[in-house]
Structure formats: C-alpha cells, structure tokens
Amino acid sequence: MSQSIGTNCNDLKIEYDKCFNKWYSEKFLKGDVRPECKELFEAYRACVLDAVKKKKIDKIISDARKDDPFPAAANSPSSPLEDINKHYHHE
C-alpha cells in the first residue's frame, strides 16, 4: 500500500484501502456499485484533510477545484465536495 501525506494517517489509510480494494474487485467490478467502507473513508479523509491543512496545501487544492470542480454525485443532496470546501474555507 502507498503511504499517506500524513504519516499519522497511514493506519487509517491501510484499513480504508483494504476495504475499498475488496469492494472494488468483489462488488463493483461484478455489477454491484452500491458504495461501502463509508465510515473508514470518513475517518481516513478527516486525517488527510488535517494533514493537507498543516502542510498549507489546502489552498492550492481548493483553487484547483474552483477551476475544475470534482463532479458531484447525481441525486446527492449534499455533495462531499461542498463539505471539503467548507472545511477549507471556513475553519
């Protein structure tokens, strides 16, 4: 498994990647596209966002998103992207 930008996020990343890779091969590629591993992802992502802020690269990421937004999920009332941008801009 690859490393995380936050060394303290590596354990969370390993757990999430393991869950995702299993879901990808065993469910997603076989036609069951319902997402899984949500809790593991949220824990890992919170850690990454924190590391990104500490390294002061949150601004270059949010600037990149302004120019080229990450497409929001259809039918999703609150896109995860908005949550991240909120995180970047208001905290």
Partner 1 sequence: MKFFETSHIFRYPWSHVSAANWRKYPNDNCPHVIAVDVLDRHVDPITGILRTERLITCQQNIPKWILSLCGGSTVSYAREISEIDPSNKVLRMTSYNLSMNHLVNISETVTYTEDPVDSSKTLFQQEARIKCGESISKFANYLEDFFIARFRDNAAKGRQGFENVLDRLLGQGEIA
CB 49 within 8 A of CB 84: yes
Assess 14 for contact with partner 1 (CB under 8 A). no
In the chain, the largest separation of any two C-alpha atoms, in whole Å, equals 40
Per CB under 8 A, 77 contacts partner 1: no
Helix H or strand E encompassing 39: helix 38-54
Residue of 8, 46, 76, 86 interacting with partner 1 (CB under 8 A): 76
Do 47 and 65 meet the contact criterion of CB atoms below 8 Å apart? Answer: no
Interface residues toward partner 1, by CB under 8 A: 1-5, 9, 13, 16-17, 20-21, 24-25, 28-29, 31, 33-35, 41, 44-45, 48-49, 52, 57, 60-61, 64, 68, 70-76, 80-81, 84
